[in-house]
Structure 1
Amino acid sequence: MKFYKFCIYVLLPFALLIVFASLLTTKQYMILSENRYESHQDITFDYDYASDRIMGYLNYKYDNLLFGETPEDDEVILYDVEIRHMVDVKNVYTGLRITAVISLILALFSIFMLRRKNKYVLFMSLKRIYRGPLALTAFLGVAFAIDFDGAFTIFHKIFFRNDDWLLPSDSVLLQLLPLNFWLVSAVSILILFVGSLFLIRFLNQKLNK
């Protein structure tokens, strides 16, 4: 029972968090973000094309980041350090996605088994599923409000073992994805994340009346 409850309390929320984080790598999200940040006014390259190439690389559509300002331009616009960093980002994303898929499978298996063995434990597990993640979200929310720049730095030091994420101020990635982009994105992910857990709790209550 403890294993099943762990999968529901920990692995299911983790899988959902990665699903929502993956939305940042979609072309649709980049379209919504266009011209919403001050740095976008300085962009001289084709925004849609660069977004497609970068996000497409993260989603395995393209094998490299050797692209120019437009589809017709062959001169690579990314610095070498940007390309190296994006290789690291893709590796992290891939690892998190694989872990999320495994977590989701284990969580769904646990729900299936508890439904067969002990419906009450399943009901209570889904009813309380939001508690831990809500506390984590509150902590992160406070940290972001106090010093998002510092939190952003800590995040990179945890996930990356080099300094390639310290990019030149005129880099394509910083123009395309400024700090405020990440602040808005982080808040959006947390809202969707917590909302999904409360939705699970609501549906659990509704279906077990």
Structure 2
Amino acid sequence: MRAASRMPQLPSDEEIAAALAKSAAVAEAVAGGTGTPDVQGEDSAVVRPSAEEQAKRKAARDKAVNTKPVLTRVFQVIIAVFYPIVLLVLAIRLVTTSTFLWIEYHRPGFPIDSFGFSTEDRLTYGSYTVDYLLNFAPPRYLGDLVNSIGNPLFLTREVGHMADVKTVIVMAFLSALLLAVIMAIGVIYLSRRSFGGNRRAFFAGSIATLVLIIALGVFAATGWEGFFTDFHKIFFAQGTWTFYTDDTLIRLFPSQFWLDSGIFIGAFVLVVSSLTLAFTWPTRERRVAVIAAQRPGRRAA
């Protein structure tokens, strides 16, 4: 004979009441936001953070995402400050070329040399002078030059002044090169870590450049001779940079040459900085793009 199957036992009233009470407690905790017990077993529970604590954590995360690193701000300031200097030295470098000499000596209205230098003589001797500023030759590079009748082309004091000019030019070019390298490092860093960071840096730099070049332009236009004299007093010792009208340096580089050079430098810096300002202007589309780029791992400028 088979044994009779055992009937399943139904839960008692006490067990049913305990289960209902536990479910009610869970529902009340969820509705009140005071911590929801997550049942993992019969007697264990994990309490979730309160709504206030969750809001604090979210605010901390948002602040971490939107806060720019210190290095980002540093590079933006560096680029904005170095930009006018590098641009100004670049303009000076364009002036110290044989090409600029050729344009000057051949342009209509450039004063002729009343002591006998032809345009070709000026271009030849002037090119030697410019080459000396850019090469590693000693002062005798100019001191050994002679004119068509075999006399020294430059006097000793003229060679000494050009040696001083070379020192100033080389220091300016090397300093600008160093600043340009630092700017390049900053541009690379900002392009990787700060969306729009380069735009903001060059925008600020272009404004600073425009203010600087306009101020210098007004000062030079209202008194060119005074401006030219004050410039030489800053970089050269008194009495080492004045010459007679029949000295070779004055014949190669008369006052009109320096006036034209100043106009070219000012115009070049003004045009380039204005273009930079236009291309980095914070338009609505660019601001929207910056906001859209605000996500973890990439910070907006």
Fold shared per TM-score above 0.5 = yes
Which residue in the other structure is 1:47 paired with? Answer: 122
Total equivalences in the alignment? 207
- State the partner residue of 1:22: 93
Counterpart code for 1:174: I
- 1:147-201 CA-partner distances (Å, limit 9, x unpaired): 1000001100111134211112211111111122111111111111121122233
- Aligned letter for 2:242? L
What is the RMSD of the two structures over their aligned residues, measured on CA atoms?
2.3
TM-score, normalised on structure 1? 0.89
Give 1:60's aligned residue.
135
Rounded Cα–Cα distance in structure 2 between residues aligned with 1:42 and 1:106: 48
Are residues 1:147 and 2:220 paired? no
Indicate conservation of the 8 Å contact 2:164/2:236, yes or no. Answer: yes
Quote the Cα distance in structure 2 between the aligned partners of 1:173 and 1:81: 11
Percent of residue pairs identical: 23
| Structure 1 residues 51 and 62: CA distance shift in structure 2, 3 A | farther
- Paired with 2:116 and 2:186, the residues of 1 have a C-alpha distance of 49
**Which whole-Å deviations, capped at 9, do the CAs of 1:46-105 have from their partners, x for residues lacking one?**
2122012111111217541021224xx542121111110000000000000000100100
Offset at 1:41? 4.3
Maintained 8 Å contact 1:20/1:192: yes
Shift >6 Å, 4+ stretches: none
CA contact (8 A) 2:219 2:227 kept: yes
CA–CA distance in structure 2, aligned partners of residues 173 and 2 of structure 1: 47
- Which structure features the higher share of helix residues? 1
Q: Is the 8 A contact 2:76 2:201 kept in 1?
A: yes
SS, match of residue 42 in structure 1: coil
Structure 1 partner of 2:79: 8
* 1:39 and 1:176 in contact (8 A); partners too: no
Higher relative contact order (CA 8 A, sep 6+): 1
Match of 1:38 in 2: 111
Query: Separation in 2 of the partners of 1:159 and 1:67?
Result: 26
Q: Secondary structure of 2:260's match? A: helix
Q: Which stretch of the first structure deviates more once superposed, 44-53 or 88-97?
A: 44-53
Q: Which amino acid aligns with 2:146?
A: G
CA displacement at 1:37 relative to structure 2: 2.9
Q: Determine if the alignment matches structure 1 residue 97 to structure 2 residue 173.
A: yes
Structure with higher Rg: it is 2
TM-score normalised by length of structure 2: 0.63
Which amino acid in 2 is paired with 1:44? F
Q: Note if 1:165 corresponds to 2:236.
A: no
Which ranges in structure 2 are unaligned for 5 or more consecutive residues? 1-71, 290-301
Q: In the superposition, relative to structure 1, how do residues 49 and 97 fare at CA in structure 2: closer, same or farther (>3 Å)?
A: same
SS in structure 1 opposite 2:154? coil
